[in-house]
Every structure is written in structure tokens, then in C-alpha cells.
């Protein structure tokens, strides 16, 4: 088996250049790397600027592709321009748009998959990309990634992903998924300051663009109701999240 490695360079929205070493074996038909690239925020680069970071991906190996999808997506999300990415699932139902901030393992993808199963619109299971100017949310429709027992990852495509932005979210639900917790969804209203703090904690560019992160998190929190708590099982939690989303915004 002969392995060949080719280089490819990408430029992010803010001008940062990344290089990717793509290895493939001539023995197999490789998976197209395009399926594992972020939905936007990058373009091919053929200039001479020095890459700031290099990625390696073996397109013959699914695990390598999944890791690349996660790592490269994070790099692109950090280097957007005029937009701030927040680590959050975004679910739209009726007039309400629900943000579920949280990091890996908090249950965002499970809730997003459940929302999809129930016929709601999922804009992303991973990043809420917010325009700094309009505060509109740009969908980041990568496939939902569900970690299965044993560590394998199931990728579930988001059907009919909307390419247009949606308005500012109406609700922010900062949920902690505690697997061992048998109780159903239990949330309490957060103050707007707590909501902003929780959003800020999940911004991807918190260190590289702290002022933009602060401004976006604060303005989102002023406009949305925030809740915090634990969610229990996704199937039980989702109807309650929906009914909560239909309630008027809190006045804090």
C-alpha cells in the first residue's frame, strides 16, 4: 500500500492561513474531505503567507476525518470576521429560537437530534455564529455528531439546512447534562448578567477577540431570557423546553 500526502492551504475570514496535510492510500477510494470541512468561514488559499497552524488528516481513516472535522471547525470558528461563534446548539421552533450553550459532553447534540426527530429546525448542534452588527444567527449546519457507547461517532445530516440567518435568539438555556441524574428537566431563570456570563464562557474567540465576545454576549443576554439547570433525559426534556420557549421573556 502506498500512502501519498498532498498539501492544501485554507484562509480563514480574518486572514489566518492554515495548512492541511492530506494523506490517502492508493489502495482505497478516499472519502471526500469536503464533507468534513466547516460550512463556511474559509476559502482555498494559494498565496505565500505562512500558515499559523497545520492539520493532518488521513482520508482513509474515519477517526482521522472526524478529528479533523472537529479541530479544523474549531479553528475556523475562532477566526471568523465580524461574527462571534458561541459553543451552542441552536434550535428553532415557531417564533422561538433556543440557544443551548455548553461544551462537549453537555448534551447539546443529543437535544439537537431529539429536536430534529420531533420535526423542529436545527441550525447547529455545535456553534451559534452571531453577527456582531445585526446579532442575527448564521446557521452552522454541520452533521450532528452523536457519540455512541464505545466511542464511535454517528453523524446525522441536518436535512434542508437553512442557509439564511435567523433573528436574535429569544431564549438562552444554559443546561448541564448530568448523565447520572435521574430527575427530569429542572431549570431556573437566570439574570441577564448571569446569562451574558454563561454565554461569554462559551465563546470560541473569548481570548483572541475578548471585546467582540463581551459585546455580543451582553447584547444577546439583554434580548433573551436565560435559564440554567440540568436536563435529565433528552426525550423528557424537550417538550418542557418547548413549553418554556413559548413563555414570554422574563423581565429581569
The residues of the shown chain that bind other proteins, judged by CB under 8 A, are 62-70, 74-75, 77-78, 87, 102-106, 145, 147, 150-153, 179, 191-197, 200-208, 210-211, 213-215, 217-218, 221-222, 252
Lookup: cell for 8: 492544501
Tell me the closest approach of the beta carbon of residue 240 to other proteins, in angstroms: 23
- In the structure grid, which three cell numbers stand for residue 185, read together? 428537566
* Residue 206 grid coordinates: 473569548
Q: Considering the complex, state which of residue 136 and residue 201 has its C-beta at the smaller distance from other proteins.
A: 201
Q: Which is nearer to other proteins, 24 or 121 (CB)?
A: 24
Note the Cα 196 to chain centre separation in Å: 18
Contact (Cβ atoms closer than 8 angstroms) between residue 130 and residue 83 = yes
Cβ(191)–Cβ(246) under 8 Å? no
Residue number, 77 or 121, with CB nearest to other proteins: 77
Nearer to other proteins, 75 or 91 (CB): 75
User: Whole-number minimum distance, CB 93 to other proteins, in Å?
Assistant: 25
> Measured from the CB of residue 233, what is the shortest distance to other proteins in angstroms?
16
Burial classification of residue 119, based on how many CB atoms lie within 10 Å of its CB (0-12 exposed, 13-18 middle, 19 or more buried)? exposed
Helix axes 234-246, 108-117, angle to 10 degrees: 80
Minimum Å distance from CB 103 to other proteins? 3
Amino acid at each position: 500500500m502506498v500512502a501519498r500526502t498532498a498539501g492544501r492551504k485554507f484562509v480563514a475570514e480574518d486572514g489566518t492561513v492554515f495548512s492541511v496535510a492530506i494523506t490517502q492510500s492508493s489502495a482505497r477510494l478516499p472519502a471526500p474531505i469536503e464533507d468534513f470541512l466547516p460550512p463556511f468561514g474559509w476559502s482555498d488559499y494559494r498565496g505565500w503567507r505562512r500558515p499559523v497552524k497545520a492539520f493532518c488528516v488521513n482520508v482513509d481513516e474515519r477517526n482521522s476525518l472526524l478529528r479533523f472535522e472537529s479541530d479544523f471547525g474549531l479553528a475556523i470558528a475562532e477566526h471568523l470576521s465580524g461574527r462571534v461563534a458561541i459553543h451552542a446548539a441552536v434550535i428553532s421552533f415557531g417564533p422561538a429560537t433556543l440557544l443551548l450553550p455548553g461544551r462537549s459532553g453537555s448534551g447539546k447534540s443529543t437535544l439537537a437530534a431529539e429536536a430534529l426527530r420531533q420535526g423542529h429546525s436545527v441550525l447547529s448542534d455545535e456553534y451559534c455564529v452571531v453577527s456582531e452588527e445585526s446579532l442575527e444567527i448564521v446557521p452552522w449546519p454541520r452533521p450532528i455528531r452523536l457519540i455512541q457507547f464505545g466511542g464511535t461517532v454517528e453523524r446525522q445530516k441536518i436535512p434542508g439546512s437553512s442557509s439564511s440567518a435567523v433573528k436574535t435568539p429569544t431564549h438562552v438555556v444554559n443546561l448541564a447534562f448530568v448523565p447520572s441524574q435521574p430527575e427530569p428537566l429542572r431549570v431556573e431563570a437566570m439574570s441577564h448578567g448571569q446569562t451574558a456570563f454563561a454565554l461569554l464562557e462559551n465563546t470560541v474567540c473569548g481570548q483572541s477577540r475578548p471585546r467582540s465576545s463581551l459585546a455580543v454576549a451582553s447584547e444577546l443576554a439583554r434580548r433573551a431570557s436565560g435559564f440554567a439547570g440540568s436536563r435529565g433525559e433528552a426525550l423528557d426534556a424537550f417538550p418542557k423546553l418547548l413549553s418554556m420557549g413559548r413563555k414570554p421573556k422574563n423581565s429581569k
